């Protein structure tokens, strides 16, 4: 009897050894490259005549694969957009983040117990790696047990919580943006180098802790080196890999490597965009060198639209992009608004995917997709059945990768600015605020506070109830097919449609999900109009 059991176990082990590689061969390696603040119009394949920068590598992805011309971030600024990508859940559903310090010392944006893209792919057998900007918060070791910041963090000790706790086997990160200290890399939760210096870059002059040998102009090359090494290290693995590469450019500081200084026709910003594009080329070349060209899905996009404070000068100053626009380069392409706003220029992003043998080359898809859809798409590819409470706002666009004119899986989408939100249904876009949904020095015009005051004046009085806001002039409606520039607010003429869209948006909020399934709880109370400046109310 014992002999028969031994033979049976040996046979099962042999079968497992044979089938594991074939199962892996049926699933591609997946590489997702996310640029930081890269505009729709910064890529020639998307901006066309409005782009005055050469981007041969992003363009090649479009030529050899598929480009999506209606792809959107969930938020027009960094942290919430990246939260949605990582979790497949709108960031506004999460509770307040864990306390932390300024800039790169921010606390955890969501619990390490939460479902993530990395955890999902890891449980399906993928080897998972993360390289680049993190900005989803960490928990650092401090010398006195107090809140992490520039003075309390012990840079000789590893992170207590970081990317490896969110489903990544390997990680090499910058805690936040390149213009936010600490200026130091972290490999698998261990700080790289001696973080004993103080440095700053020319964008915002934020002086803070830095590794002694850390320099802004070498960061992109370092991230590419790490991505290339990950591909090479795992090229011969039996199981496929997933690599998330979060580039730090062309977000400020506008710091191209020496090789790209003076490379573009439009000056410093163009040099940095070309440097960013070259990173895509290096990663694709590494995949081909490893013999994985035909078994790898490569996707590239941006976390949201560009900030108009970036341009030809290294110091961040308002409306630099308008200077480039006068000379023929429009970072937002044909769209209105910039980073932080609810206009299209804030959320619409370039998105391309290449998967030889599966994605038809040279195809264009005009279906609506969101970056939060990456989770469900990867789950579909990996053969994972998402649980009912996982990735509640993520919809797989795998059918579109195979056939760009297939029935669109997504028919609605939410995108937030810093001071307002928008809700899409097909070509209709409802802005649940007056103005641009952004405020402050780097707001798109019209700025939020001024727009709210103008709306109050047009309404004839201050609103008293939330229902007062559910009409023009407190909201805006555009038909993007007829008015892609969002120039003419037709909310007053389309009251029934406005009411219908508000009802659908309210349902999306209250159900805790935008996908089919059981009702889920949000982590915090949500309102249709949020935030509304306190001076608006007659209370």
Could you give the CA distance from residue 62 to residue 364 in angstroms, rounded to a whole number?
8
**Phi, psi for residue 491 in degrees, rounded to 5:** -60, -40
Could you give the CA distance from residue 28 to residue 4 in angstroms, rounded to a whole number?
38
Beta carbons within 10 angstroms of residue 66's beta carbon:
23
Q: What is the CATH number of domain 31-407?
A: 3.40.720.10
CA torsion, points 185, 187, 191, 194, in degrees to nearest 10? Answer: -70
Structure tokens at 141: 């070791």
CA torsion, points 491, 493, 497, 499, in degrees to nearest 10? Answer: 70
Annotated domain spans of the chain: 31-407, 418-536
pLDDT of residue 539: 72
Helix/strand/coil for 114: coil
Could you give the CA distance from residue 535 to residue 539 in angstroms, rounded to a whole number?
9
pLDDT of residue 181: 98
CA triplet 62, 65, 66: central angle to 5 degrees? 70
Structure tokens at 499: 């009411």
Helix (H) or strand (E) holding 421: strand 421-425
pLDDT of residue 8: 41
Could you give the CA distance from residue 358 to residue 401 in angstroms, rounded to a whole number?
7
Residue ranges in 414-447 assigned as alpha helix (H): none
Helix/strand/coil for 445: coil
Could you give the CA distance from residue 328 to residue 311 in angstroms, rounded to a whole number?
13
Tens of pLDDT along the chain (539 residues) come to: 443 433 443 444 433 333 333 334 479 999 999 999 999 999 999 999 999 999 999 999 999 999 999 999 999 999 999 999 999 999 999 999 999 999 999 999 999 999 999 999 999 999 999 999 999 999 999 998 899 999 999 999 999 999 999 999 999 999 999 999 999 999 999 999 999 999 999 899 999 999 999 999 999 999 999 999 999 999 999 999 999 999 999 999 999 999 999 999 999 999 999 999 999 999 999 999 999 999 999 999 999 999 999 999 999 999 999 999 999 999 999 999 999 999 999 999 999 999 999 999 999 999 999 999 999 999 999 999 999 999 999 999 999 999 999 999 999 999 999 999 999 999 999 999 999 999 999 999 999 999 999 999 999 999 999 999 999 999 999 999 999 999 999 999 999 999 999 999 999 999 999 999 999 999 999 999 989 999 999 87
Could you give the CA distance from residue 270 to residue 268 in angstroms, rounded to a whole number?
5
Q: Which string of DSSP letters, residue by residue, matches 335-387?
A: ----TTSSSHHHHEEEEEEE-TTTSPTTEEE-S-EEGGGHHHHHHHHHT----
Beta carbons within 10 angstroms of residue 221's beta carbon:
16
Helix (H) or strand (E) holding 117: helix 117-123
Could you give the CA distance from residue 347 to residue 372 in angstroms, rounded to a whole number?
12
Cβ(314)–Cβ(253) below 8 Å: yes
CA torsion, points 21, 22, 23, 25, in degrees to nearest 10? Answer: 90
Could you give the CA distance from residue 454 to residue 474 in angstroms, rounded to a whole number?
9
The topology (CATH level 3) of 418-536 is Arylsulfatase, C-terminal domain (3.30.1120)
């Amino acid at each position: 009897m014992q002999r028969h059991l031994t033979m049976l176990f040996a046979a099962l082990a042999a079968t497992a050894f044979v089938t594991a590689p074939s199962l892996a061969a049926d699933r591609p390696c997946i590489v997702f490259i996310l640029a930081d603040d890269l505009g729709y119009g910064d890529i020639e394949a998307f901006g066309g005549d409005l782009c005055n920068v050469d981007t041969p590598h992003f363009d090649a992805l479009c030529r050899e694969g598929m480009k999506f011309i209606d792809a959107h971030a969930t938020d027009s600024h960094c942290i919430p957009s990246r939260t949605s990508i990582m979790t497949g859940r709108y960031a506004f559903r999460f509770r307040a983040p864990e306390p932390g310090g300024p800039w790169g010392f921010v606390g955890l944006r969501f619990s390490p117990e939460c479902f993530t893209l990395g955890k999902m792919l890891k449980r399906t057998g993928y080897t998972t790696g993360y390289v680049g900007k993190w900005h989803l918060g960490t928990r650092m070791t401090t010398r006195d047990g107090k809140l992490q910041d520039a003075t309390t963090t012990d840079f000789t000790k590893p992170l207590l919580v970081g990317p490896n706790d969110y489903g990544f086997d390997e990680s090499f990160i910058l805690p936040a943006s390149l213009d936010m200290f600490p200026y130091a890399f972290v490999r698998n939760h261990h700080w790289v180098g001696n973080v004993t210096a103080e440095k700053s870059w020319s964008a915002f002059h934020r002086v803070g802790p830095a590794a002694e040998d850390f320099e802004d102009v070498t960061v992109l090359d370092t991230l590419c080196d790490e991505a290339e090494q990950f591909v090479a290290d795992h090229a011969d693995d039996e199981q496929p890999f997933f690599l998330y590469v979060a580039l730090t450019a062309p977000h400020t500081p506008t710091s191209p490597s020496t090789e790209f200084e003076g490379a573009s026709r439009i000056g410093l910003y163009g040099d940095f965009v070309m440097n960013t594009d070259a990173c895509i080329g290096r990663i694709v070349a590494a995949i081909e060198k490893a013999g994985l060209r035909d078994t790898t899905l490569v996707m590239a996009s941006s976390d949201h639209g560009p900030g108009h404070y970036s341009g030809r000068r290294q110091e961040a100053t308002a409306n630099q992009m308008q200077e480039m626009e006068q000379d023929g380069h429009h970072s937002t392409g044909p769209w209105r608004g910039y980073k932080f706003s609810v206009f299209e220029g804030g959320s619409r992003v370039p998105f391309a995917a290449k998967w030889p043998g599966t994605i038809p080359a040279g195809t264009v898809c005009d279906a609506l997709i969101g970056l939060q859809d990456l989770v469900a798409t990867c789950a579909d590819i990996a053969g994972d059945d998402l649980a009912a409470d996982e990735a509640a706002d993520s919809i797989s666009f795998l059918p579109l990768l195979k056939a760009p004119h297939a029935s669109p899986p997504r028919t609605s989408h939410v995108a937030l600015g810093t001071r307002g939100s928008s809700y899409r249904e097909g070509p209709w876009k409802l802005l649940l605020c007056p103005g641009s949904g952004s405020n402050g020095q780097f707001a798109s015009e019209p700025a939020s506070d001024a727009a709210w005051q103008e709306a109050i004046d047009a309404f004839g009085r201050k609103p008293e109830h939330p229902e007062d806001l559910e009409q023009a002039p407190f909201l805006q409606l555009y038909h993007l097919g007829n008015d892609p520039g969002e120039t003419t607010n037709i909310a007053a003429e389309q009251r029934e449609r406005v009411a219908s869209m508000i009802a659908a948006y309210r349902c999306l909020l209250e159900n805790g999900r935008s996908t089919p399934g059981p009702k889920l709880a949000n982590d915090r109370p949500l309102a249709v109009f949020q935030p509304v400046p306190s001076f608006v109310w007659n209370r």
